[in-house]
Amino acid sequence: MITLFGEAFLAAFIGLAGGIAVGSGMVAFLVVLDIIPRLAQITRSFSKIHAYEAAVVLGSLLFTWVDFSDLHLHLFPMGAALFGLFAGCFVGLLAAALTEIVNVLPILAKRVGMDSYRIVLLMAMIFGKVIGSLFEWIFY
């Protein structure tokens, strides 16, 4: 029988492990896509690359805190529009970076020896995303 302390420890361990997994995935995602160096290259601002990295880290920490807190921002309509504009720019940059990554999938499948299973690999990724999204939408 699990004690109250054991239950709390297990919940903390699962939460920490999940956070590490998601954080590592986000960092790997940003590193693989080379978003920050590519933005610095496009804008010709390599001298500010440390500021870009700090902005990503601080933004992640801030919005993680906002997500866990009961903070409610009562923005005026133009403030909400500005916030939406920045969020849309971020999503657009990620989408543009993902289109470059999709070109890597055939090369990866060939190197791993799954060239003949390329369609199956893509379909597994698509169905995994759809099923995961439906699970979250229906149950949460």
User: Tell me, what's the pLDDT at 99?
Assistant: 66
User: Tell me, what's the pLDDT at 100?
Assistant: 64
Is the pTM above the cut of 0.85? no
Specify whether 81 is located in the same domain as 31: no
- The conformation of residue 45, written as its DSSP 8-state character, comes to -
User: Tell me, what's the pLDDT at 1?
Assistant: 58
User: Tell me, what's the pLDDT at 133?
Assistant: 82
Specify whether 6 is located in the same domain as 65: yes
Specify whether 2 is located in the same domain as 65: yes
Domain total in the chain: 2
User: Position 11: which residue type?
Assistant: A
Q: Which domain holds residue 9?
A: 1-73
Last residue of a domain, one of 73, 92, 127: 73
Last residue of a domain, one of 43, 73, 103: 73
Specify whether 93 is located in the same domain as 122: yes
Specify whether 83 is located in the same domain as 106: yes
Specify whether 65 is located in the same domain as 92: no
Closest CA to 108 of 97, 124, 121, 96: 121
Specify whether 69 is located in the same domain as 80: no
Specify whether 45 is located in the same domain as 80: no
Average pLDDT per 10 consecutive residues for the chain, totaling 140 residues:
81 85 74 75 85 85 83 81 85 71 71 80 81 83
User: Tell me, what's the pLDDT at 49?
Assistant: 85
CB burial of 23-47 (b: ≥16 within 10 Å; e: otherwise) equals: eeeeeeebeebebbeeebeeeeeee
Last residue of a domain, one of 20, 54, 73: 73
* Cβ neighbours of residue 35 closer than 8 Å, sequence gap 6 or more: 93, 94, 97
